[in-house]
Amino acid sequence: MSYLEYNVARVPQGLQKVLALNWALILLICAVASIGFIVLYSVAGGDWRWAEPQIERFILGLSVMFVAAMIPIWFWRNVSALAYAVTLVMLVAVEVVGVTGGGAQRWIDLGFMRLQPSELMKVALVMMLAAYYDWLPPSKVSRPQWVIVPVVIIIVPVFLVLKQPDLGTSILLITGGGAVMFLAGVHWAYFATVVAAGVGLVTAVLKSRGTDWQIIKDYQYRRIDTFLDPESDPLGAGYHITQSKIALGSGGWTGKGFMQGTQARLNFLPEKHTDFIFTTLAEEWGFIGGLSLLLLYLLIIGFCITSALRNKDRYSSLVILGVAVAFFLFFAVNMSMVMGLAPVVGVPLPLVSYGGSAMLVLMLAFGIVQSAHVHRPRAAGEGRLLRR
Summarize pLDDT for 84-111 with one digit per residue, the tens: 999 999 998 888 877 776 666 777 877 6
Q: Which residue has the higher pLDDT, 43 or 223?
A: 43
Q: Kindly report the average pLDDT of the chain as a whole number.
A: 83
Alpha carbons 343 and 223: distance in angstroms, whole number: 6
The Cα angle at residue 156 between residues 155 and 162, in degrees rounded to 5: 80
Per residue in 126-156, pLDDT (tens digit) is 999 999 999 999 889 999 999 999 999 999 9
CB 154 within 8 A of CB 170: no
Residue 10, CB-side half-sphere exposure with 13 Å CA sphere: 6
Q: Identify the band that residue 382 occupies on the pLDDT scale cut at 50, 70 and 90.
A: very low
CB 307 within 8 A of CB 369: yes
Per residue in 269-292, pLDDT (tens digit) is 767 777 888 888 888 888 999 999
Residue 234 has pLDDT above 80, yes or no: no
pLDDT at 104: 67
pTM for the full model? 0.85
Residue 12, CB-side half-sphere exposure with 13 Å CA sphere: 3
pLDDT at 242: 77
pLDDT at 86: 94
pLDDT at 383: 40
Alpha carbons 320 and 314: distance in angstroms, whole number: 10
What is the pLDDT averaged over residues 243-264?
Answer: 77
Q: Which residues contact 242 (CB under 8 A, 6 or more apart)?
A: 230, 231, 234
Pairing outcome for strands 114-115 and 99-101: unpaired
pLDDT at 380: 42
* Host H or E run for residue 107: strand 104-109
